[in-house]
Amino acid sequence: MWAENQHLSNYLKNTIPARIHLRIVILVTVYLIMRKYLLFLCLILCAFVSKGQQTILFIGSYNLDKTLPGIYVYSFDTTTGKLSKITDYSGVLNPSFLTLSNDGKYLYACTDSRAGEKGSVSSFKFDRQLTPISQQPTGAANPVYVALDKTERWLLSGSYTGGGTAAFPIRNGEIDKPAQIFLFQDSSVKPQQKSAHIHSVNFSPNGQMVYLPDLGADKIRDFHFDGSKKMPLSQESFTRTAPGSGPRHMTFHPRGKFAYCLSELSGAVTVYSIKNGRLDSIQEIGLHSKLHQFYSSADIHLSPDGLFLYASNRGEENNIAIFRVNDKSGKLTPVGYQPTAGDHPRNFVIDPSGKFLLVANEYSGNINVFRRDTRTGLLTKTANEILIKGPSCLIMKSYY
């Protein structure tokens, strides 16, 4: 850079007045210095910004004994996919499903799952550690799902064995007694469908409806939701699914026009258009690479950009099915399958950046990290893996 300045200086001395020459030399020198160190300054800025962000993974599990850890907390490196343990929490039995407040300060869990006639929901404050706040009975056995409304004034639970849902008022992370409890009595055609089994609770994108896939009754039950009322759920109705399908989990397209419901017993996903809260089936497509006598599909999620849909298959295949989503029609096109490198992938999560997908293999007790190609949707297994007994739920949040 000194040679460049010297050459320029000699040229300018012979062509322009000294005062103007000096100003030009100074400006050019400043420009060259800035050009040389601009990249360095950008790298420092990026490092500073990333240092202020931390992505956290929360893991719920079937611990089978409340003296053992049931909830685990790990930090997640969004560059390498590495997981580092922060803390764990014991004192609750089988925290099978988790959800977080929008600010990440409060964690809510299904507790006393698979505990006979029991069932409860619990809340915790999170600040590098988990501190218990409250616990309430669900009024139905074996809760397997919890969800918050947009205003975070209500927590809803879904109970599998008891076949019910409950609405709990909440305030500053504290769960009050349920304002409403609904118990359902229906059944359907397969041995697993002798009674109602609510397997998930799903708020519509506009927050005005609640959809409850009932695996035991082959129905997606729905309620109108108004969080300003003391009893927020009203006008029960349902959408019937194919006999023996066993609807389980749902997800919604980012534009709010389409819903996707995974059916556990038929191993398929149904695409619905949404209009005025009503679900209209527009496609049904299988989740498996080949035919089986029995199916056990489990979890379903869309990529953050809504371009790809992923679903987990337990049983003989133990894989993640991958589909491309048509942005206009909402319909699915198969892309491929990714083995989960474990047994019984009950639950999985896509990290907030969309670059990774993490799978909880319940029976083999391992959580594997896969890198996600955002262009093709395909997954590649990384070397990152942690061992957790009976992992059943994964949720992630980036903290700033």
Check residue 207 and give left, alpha or beta (phi > 0: left; psi -120 to 50: alpha): left
Q: How far apart are CA 328 and CA 336, in angstroms?
A: 21
In the predicted structure, residue 45 carries a pLDDT above the cut 50:
no
Q: How far apart are CA 261 and CA 323, in angstroms?
A: 14
Q: pLDDT band at 73, cuts 50/70/90? A: very high
User: Can you read off the two tokens belonging to residue 395?
Assistant: 């949720």
What mean pLDDT is reported for the chain? 91
In the predicted structure, residue 13 carries a pLDDT above the cut 70:
no
Q: Print the SS3 string covering 236-300.
A: EEEEECCCCCCEEEEEECCCCCEEEEEECCCCEEEEEEEECCEEEEEEEEECCCCCCCCCCEEEE
Q: pLDDT band at 41, cuts 50/70/90? A: very low
Q: How far apart are CA 267 and CA 363, in angstroms?
A: 19
* pLDDT, greater one: 15 or 288: 288
In the predicted structure, residue 124 carries a pLDDT above the cut 80:
yes
In the predicted structure, residue 376 carries a pLDDT above the cut 80:
yes
Q: pLDDT band at 53, cuts 50/70/90? A: confident
Interhelix angle 2-13/18-51, nearest 10 degrees = 150
Q: Are 123 and 174 in contact (CB under 8 A)?
A: yes
Q: Give Dmax (Cα) for the chain.
A: 98
* pLDDT, greater one: 51 or 355: 355
Q: Answer whether 0.85 is exceeded by the pTM.
A: yes
Which of 105, 125, 202, 192 lies closest to 158 in space, CA to CA?
202
Which three-class secondary structure state does DSSP give residue 6?
A: helix
Q: How far apart are CA 358 and CA 350, in angstroms?
A: 6
In the predicted structure, residue 25 carries a pLDDT above the cut 50:
no
What per-residue confidence (pLDDT) applies to 27? Answer: 54
Instruction: Write the pLDDT tens digit of every residue in 286-306.
Output: 999 999 999 999 999 999 999
Q: How far apart are CA 48 and CA 68, in angstroms?
A: 38
Q: Are 248 and 266 in contact (CB under 8 A)?
A: no
